[in-house]
Structures are given as C-alpha cells and as structure tokens.
Chain A
C-alpha cells in the first residue's frame, strides 16, 4: 500500500540576479505503509530540500506529492517532522512541548496528559516532564522532539538528520530507541542522513542520491531481520551492504566537492 507518492518533484532555486540553481532533478519514488526509508547522499545533494517539500515547507518547481492519494499543499500535522536543530519551544516544559500539537487540535486536556505521559515513557524521559529545554542535554532534547512529533499521531514521520548534532555514543543509542519505537508503533518513516551505518541500520530501504543536481542513483532493500541488535553492524550481510554503499557514496561525495 503506497503511503507517500513523490511524482516528478524537482526544485530550482532562483538566486540574486536570476542565477538558477537546480537542487533536485525530477524525482519519482514511493514510500509504502510501514516502510522505514533512509535517504543517503553527500552534502548539498538536495535530500533535505526533498524532505522539506514533502513536509510542505517548500514548494516544488515541478511535480506533486500524494499522501494516501491526496495531494499535499502545505505543512500539516499528518506529516510530522523532526529537525536537526531540535526546535523545541524554549518557553514550554517537556510536557507542554509534547502537548503542543494536541492543543492545536483541541484535544481534551486529560487525554493530552495521558498521551504525553505515554510518549515520555517511550523515549525514556520520565521524571523530566517539568524541565525546560535549556536544562536538557542534546540527546534528551531530540528525544522530546521525537515524542512531540509522535504524540500528534502523524501518518508519516519525516526526519532530517535528527542525530547529526549528537556525539557518537548518544547517536547509536538514539538509533536503537527510534528503531524500537518504529517496530512497536508501525509508523512510516522517511529519514535523511549522510551516515552510511545509520542508513543501513535503521532502514528497510535505502535510497542513494547523486551530488547536485540530486537524482536517485540507487535503491537498495535492506533485508536484515527485525528486531535489530547493535551487533548486527558487524555482521557479514551488513558489511556487504556497507561496502556497496560506500562505493556509491564516495563517487558522489567527490563529485560534490569538485563542483
């Protein structure tokens, strides 16, 4: 069942003095229900641009996006997003941040608190409900951001290099946490990253982008079993996929630097 259809989406930026930058050549691909798709590519390849267009925060130059068959016009709660820079509201506590989307739709307060408590427990932040974002570490802030997006019950979760600003150990733990939530909640996720290990570990499908102007170079299925243990990262199957993707990415990274 196709959840998200990206049809012929391209993006051309017009700079000062009319200079055109083609960020994305027309992209076509589909995300099925319960897929965890990672988009892998070098810097500047347009992967974040594509995610923003799917989120409705940017308009495509050509093409359209269909969610459950309905065209996407602007941003909305059914496409939840987690950004690299956390974007928690600094004047709200953890609990209030998580309840933000629910308050916007007028959910009764008792229900809000129950759902917030559920997701706070899911991301392991029990005891920090009344803390402000400034009092939390980077990993805790990102966990709050994930809980905030999930509490809104989106149809698809969009994540733009969410663990990019975290240290290596925290990043690995966050990957496992997110994967655990995905496995139990059966969400559909579109996840942008430049980290090959992360792309393979999290996904059941990896899409590789070329350097700018971005187009899809390769699509790979990751048939490793679930639930995934971190030790899988040194298994032969994982290493084979990693070798393959490293080759694909290297050529593109060098092309990106040469531009």
Chain B
C-alpha cells in the first residue's frame, strides 16, 4: 500500500488532487460560515427571529447533503460550483442552529449586569453576547469542518475529474485497493491536521476561556 501511495504522488500528481479537495472544502465551508454565523447570532439574540426561522432551519438540517448531489449535478453541472454547493448545504444549517443555541444560552446575569452599566440592546449583542459566545462558536466551526470533509468526498465520488474522491473511484475501476486505502488515510490525516490547526488557533484567539 505504501508503494502504491508513493506512486500516486510521483506518477499521478496526487498533490493536485489533494489541493482540489482542500480548496473545495474550504470554499464551501467558508461560504457556509460567513452566512450561517451572523444568521445564527441574530436568531439566538432575538426570540422573534428565532421563532420565525427555526422551523425552516430545523427541517433543512435533516435533509442529507449527499442526496442533493444528483439534483445539483442537473442544476449546476459537474463543475466546482456543484461540489461547493453540496458542502455548503451540508454545513450551513448545522452552523446556524448550533450558533443560535450557543448565543441563546448566554449567561443572563452578565446581560443584566451590562444593562445596569448602561448598555443598549444593540450594545448587549455586540459587547456581551458575541464575545461571550465566540469560543463556543469557534468550536462549532471546528466540528462542522470535520463533517464538511465527509461531504466533499461523497461529492467527488460522483461525477468528478479531480480530487481524492475521484482518485478513489479511479482506483476502484482498476481494482487497486492499496490506493483506495491510502486515499482514505490521507483524508483522515488532512482532517486531523486541520482539526489541530483550528484548535490551536482557537486557543490563541481566546486565551481567556481556557484559563
């Protein structure tokens, strides 16, 4: 298997595949985070917004992202957009709900203290709810990134011309189980590295929460 792996890198430009997969995950995940985090904060901070959006978001959370693949292929083709959309759909609703729950569970006594110090409701969201929830939001993003990895591979197994998932499908056609296993291990390793990096980044950004 190691020999197969070595061949992959040297003869088949596996680095390119890894790069494609990583770029797709990052693209879909960052897009989802940028939309979902503010939406989740607004939902967590304002009961009215939460009541309005929650049924919709909860329902969408249960739709399997993988099931969207055939639909997205028909709508968006088999290019990069389709794969990024798969990851986006799989991540965005999870992030919205988890962020909303985190913000909604903010310590009430801190909110009251801020009011007695003269904070306005907008000030409370900006200077109490968000900073207080920030470490947990960062942990939520770290978790969802882990799930995003699984969606990208599935998207690449079907209708892709590059990426680790594509390599796995190719290897299957050639009955090259060594390469398949190697590919799976590479996915695991990249996920692990991104997880460590995220954790270290969170720890540095929020030293106060791990005191």
Contact = CB atoms under 8 A, between A and B. Distances in A.
A21 interface: no
With most chain A CB atoms within 10 A of its CB, the pick from B113, B128, B131 is B113
A90 B109 contact: no
A83 B134 CA distance: 24
A95 to B, nearest CB: 14
Interface in B191-211: 206, 208-209, 211
B208 A75 contact: no
Given A90-B209, A132-B211, A83 B113 contact: yes
A101 B112 CA distance: 13
A80 B120 CA distance: 15
B112 A57 contact: yes
Nearest to A158: B116
B117 A77 contact: yes
A152 B131 CA distance: 21
A85 B110 CA distance: 10
Contact of B110 (A79, A89, A101): A89
Nearest to B210: A134
Contacts of B208: 90-91, 132, 134
Interface in A46-76: 55-57, 74-76
B123 to A, nearest CB: 6
Interface in B95-119: 109-110, 112-119
Contacts of B110: 87, 89
Contacts of A92: 131
A205 interface: no
B5 interface: no
Nearest to B123: A104
Chain B interface mostly: helix
Given A77-B118, A80-B117, A104-B119, A89 B128 contact: yes
Contacts of A79: 116
B27 interface: no
Interface residues of B, number: 21
Contacts of A89: 110, 113-114, 128, 131-132
Contact of B118 (A55, A104, A135): A104
A13 B116 CA distance: 23
A92 B208 CA distance: 8
B109 A76 contact: no
A203 to B, nearest CB: 22
A30 B38 CA distance: 46
Contacts of A77: 116-118
A257 interface: no
A42 B115 CA distance: 28
A89 B117 CA distance: 12
A148 interface: yes
B209 A152 contact: no
Contacts of B117: 77, 80, 100-101, 104, 148-149, 152
With most chain A CB atoms within 10 A of its CB, the pick from B114, B116, B128, B211 is B116
A105 interface: yes
A81 interface: yes
Contacts of B118: 76-77, 101, 104-105, 152
A89 to B, nearest CB: 6
Interface of A: 55-57, 74-77, 79-81, 83, 85, 87, 89-92, 100-101, 103-105, 132, 134-135, 148-149, 152, 158
16 contacts: A55-B116, A57-B115, A57-B116, A77-B116, A81-B112, A83-B112, A83-B113, A89-B131, A89-B132, A100-B114, A100-B127, A104-B117, A104-B127, A105-B118, A132-B208, A132-B211
